[in-house]
Amino acid sequence: MKMLAIYSIKGGVGKTASAVNLAALASQAGHRVLLWDLDPQAATTFYLRVKPKVRGGVDKLVKGKASFDKVIRTSEMPDLDLLPASFGSREMDHLLEGRKLSRLRRILKPVHDDYDLVILDCPPSISTLSEHVFSSVDALLVPTVPTTLSLRTLEQLREHLDEADHTCPVWPFFTLADRRKKLHLDVMATLNQDWPLMLTTTIPNASAVERMGLERAPITQFARSSPAARAYRSLWRELEQRL
């Protein structure tokens, strides 16, 4: 079972859209996928038309006492399941305090053989939860808008991982890119030099991504031929090769 986290210190970078679309494409490719919504805002849970509730409570989940047949919900897509968020997910930081790192991977041990891929949709912060994300996953996928502030937070992430001695690789990729803007073009032309593991696919700033909130579905379901859908398919092919 491989674990990937869609993570960024900065909000508003297309994190949830990327998590939902990549999970859907992975399941369509024949992989058994679990999408874990760790963000108390529960946007991923909303997109997949699941009630934002963790049955038994987040406390039992963290302690390893949850019944996964009640906690994990099926989605409308074959081979794609969801571990939903709830408002109680805001307690994750507190509940993980003092626990050994890699707790998230340990929590999922009972369903290890049920899934080929687990994708974590993470809240935008450096916290106790993020430390457990960093120590649990096989790689961090970092959506990055080609702007100065996004580059700054990407560098802050690298510095933090180095200082904390986390060894998980970082795979940035560009999102919300507008090729009409000179700044975006300049940033996209230079960032590869500093990030050799950067994914080559760029996700455009497209109306189809914004429509996900209305359609409550992955882009590949309601705008299959759109530039954003083609970009996410290309991004998934890159990830599948690395995995």
Spatial separation of the C-alpha atoms in residues 95 and 103, rounded to whole Å? 11
Spatial separation of the C-alpha atoms in residues 174 and 142, rounded to whole Å? 8
Q: For the segment 174-191, what is each residue's pLDDT rounded down to a tens digit?
A: 999 988 888 888 888 887
Give the predicted TM-score (pTM) of the model: 0.95
User: Mean pLDDT, to the nearest integer, of 198-216?
Assistant: 94
Spatial separation of the C-alpha atoms in residues 158 and 172, rounded to whole Å? 11
User: Mean pLDDT, to the nearest integer, of 16-22?
Assistant: 97
CATH number of the domain at 156, please: 3.40.50.300
Confidence of residue 65 (pLDDT cuts 50, 70, 90): confident
Spatial separation of the C-alpha atoms in residues 46 and 216, rounded to whole Å? 7
92 neighbors 120 (Cβ within 8 angstroms)? no
Q: Is 87's pLDDT higher than 90?
A: no
Mean pLDDT, the chain, rounded, equals 92
Domain that holds residue 83: 2-242
Q: Look at the block and give the residue holding tokens 């408002």.
A: 87
80 neighbors 44 (Cβ within 8 angstroms)? no
Q: What separation in angstroms does the CA of 84 have from each of 70, 144, 223?
A: 11, 25, 25
Q: Is 193's pLDDT higher than 80?
A: no
Q: How many domains does the chain have?
A: 1
Q: Say if strands 73-74 and 80-83 run parallel, antiparallel, or are unpaired.
A: antiparallel
Q: Is 89's pLDDT higher than 80?
A: no
Alpha helix stretches (DSSP H) within the chain: 15-28, 43-47, 58-63, 68-71, 92-96, 103-107, 128-136, 148-164, 182-190, 207-210, 212-215, 219-222, 227-242
User: Which has the minimum average pLDDT: 13-17, 50-54, 213-217?
Assistant: 50-54
Q: For the segment 137-175, what is each residue's pLDDT rounded down to a tens digit?
A: 999 999 999 988 888 999 999 999 999 999 999 999 999
Q: What DSSP letter does each residue of 180-234 carry, written as one string?
A: TSHHHHHHHHHGGGT-TT--S-EEE--HHHHTHHHHTS-HHHH-TTSHHHHHHHH
Q: Cβ of 125: how many Cβ atoms within 10 Å?
A: 15
Neighbouring C-alpha atoms within 13 Å toward the C-beta of 37: 32
Q: Is 94's pLDDT higher than 90?
A: no
State the Cα angle at 126 between 27 and 154, rounded to 5°: 75
Higher pLDDT, 222 or 60: 222
Quote the DSSP letter at residue 171: E
pLDDT value of residue 37: 96
Spatial separation of the C-alpha atoms in residues 35 and 10, rounded to whole Å? 21
